[in-house]
Structures are given as C-alpha cells and as structure tokens.
Structure 1
C-alpha cells in the first residue's frame, strides 16, 4: 500500500511553523531591530488589519468548506473527498495562504518588518514540509481528478 494513502503528515507541522515564524520575528526585532518609517504608521496598521481580516475570512471559509464536504481539516488526517469549491477554486492551499497573510499582517500592525520576512520563510518551509506531501497523498487518493485540479488552480495564488 502507498504510504501517502494512509495520511499525508505524521504531525500537523504548519501551525507550528507559523507560530515559530512569529516568535522568530519578535526575537529578531528585539536583537536586530529594523527601522520603520514613522510618518504614516496608520497606513501600515490599516493594511495589516486588512490582511489579518482577509486571512481570518479565508481560513474560516476554507475550514467550513472542508467540513461541508465531510473531509479532514487537519493536515495529518487522510482526505476522504477532493475539495475544489469555495476558496479551493482560487488556491489549493487557502488555509496556509491565510496563515501567511496573518503573519505578514501582524508585522504591519505591530510595525515589525521581520514578520514579513519570516512569513515568506514559513511559506517556503510549509511548501517543503507539508504541501508536497499533501499533494502526493491527494494524487494517490484521487489520481487524474487531482491532476486536473492542479492544472487549473494555483498552489498559492
């Protein structure tokens, strides 16, 4: 039996990766602060708020769609259905995209540019640690249907 058929990940790494990214950003700002322009702080904070709100809506919408389709939300659980509707029409990884937007948005709200850097690093790590394995799992479960979905939908945006 194909190992990816059982479950994609042994542990749900992405939430921990993004939590570590946020912690690293605040540690980096304390040890090696990056200066931010103080002239239009409200613009950065407003943009950060928009990113965080967008991330929250995207994550809730994606989780609700998965629940409606009666399939797993956690990345260490086996998928029972290929979900291609809701936010999954726009991106194959709306939850991870939401995590990335929230991390960057937090950086804008808190005026911590390191959050934007660590958000990109977390996205790269998530791609390596989780997404590639999840895609192999979905390919083994859903075959050509998943290939068609991948051809028509971007991995991130």
Structure 2
C-alpha cells in the first residue's frame, strides 16, 4: 500500500481528529493544480474551514499557535485539491517543495513556526515521503486578509 493511499491518509487524519474537506474552487482566473511531466504544482490555498476563512495579522491579533492550526487547515485543502486533480493520492511519490506565506505584522519574525503546521502534518501523514524543501516568508497582506497561504509541488507517478 502506498504511503499516499487515500484510505490510509483518511485513517491517519481521523486519528489526528482531522478530515479532508472538499476542494475549494479557485477564487479567480486560475486552476487548482497543473500537472507537468512527473510534477504536480498546486496553487496557493488558504485556511478555508466550513464557516469561511481564518483572517488577521499573525503576531498582532492572531497568535503563532492559532496560525499553526490555520496552516494545518490549509494543508488539508492542498491535499484535497491534489486528490481531485490526480483521482487518488496514491499517485504521489513524495512532497517536493512548499512555499508558505504568512500575513504577518511588520515586526513578526517566526514565520517558520507557523508554516511548521503544514510541514509537521505532511510528515505525520507521509513519513519520509512528506519531507520537503520549503520557504516560509512574511507578507504585508494576503488575499482577503487570510492568515496563511501555502502552495505545494509534488512528484507523481
């Protein structure tokens, strides 16, 4: 069984008290993911939850711990888009790279701690196949003032 098998991932998420949502539709003129050769490029996703989005400036009205959880929610949305694009997560060989953007207060410096919410979840779900290269950066704003946006590149079969 692939470490990226849909049933195995769903079971592991359930153990963590999490559930993969339906994929959020693109909010502008772009697609959720593009496959090029053996790479899947997943468009930036935000912290969408059943009631809407998480908003605010990290380091001001949003704590590191809250934003870490928002990065986990964002990761679930990334996985959902991947599953929709590929038909099954079993086609994924490994997570290659993530770019994590944090809607940060001007003096905020702990961007990596926020994006660890994504990295920790990917490694928890996929083990060594979930380890990836990464950038974690601060932004003056993000669309709709969401707290985090993350994009992902995966190697696929």
Please indicate the TM-score interval, normalised by the length of the shorter structure: 0.3 to 0.5
Give the TM-score, by structure 1 length.
0.33
Q: Which structure's relative contact order is higher, taking Cα pairs within 8 Å and 6+ residues apart? A: 1
Higher helix share: 1
Select the structure of larger CA radius of gyration: 1
